[in-house]
Amino acid sequence: MSDPLDDCRAELLAAGLDAERVDKALSRVRENWAGSQTYIKARDHQRTDAAIRAALAAGETPRQIAQATGLHPATIRRKRSSWLG
Any idea what DSSP says for residue 18?
A: -
Q: Which residues of 6-21 are buried (b: 16+ CB within 10 A; e: fewer)?
A: eeebeebeeeeeeeee
Model confidence pLDDT, tens digit, residues 58-74: 999 999 999 999 999 99
Q: 6-61: per-residue pLDDT in tens?
A: 999 999 999 999 999 999 999 999 999 888 888 888 889 999 999 999 999 999 99
pTM over 0.75: no
Sketch the domain layout of the chain as residue ranges. Answer: 4-33, 45-84
Dist. CA 81–CA 85, nearest whole Å: 6
Residue 71, C-beta contacts closer than 8 angstroms, at least 6 positions apart: 48, 52, 65
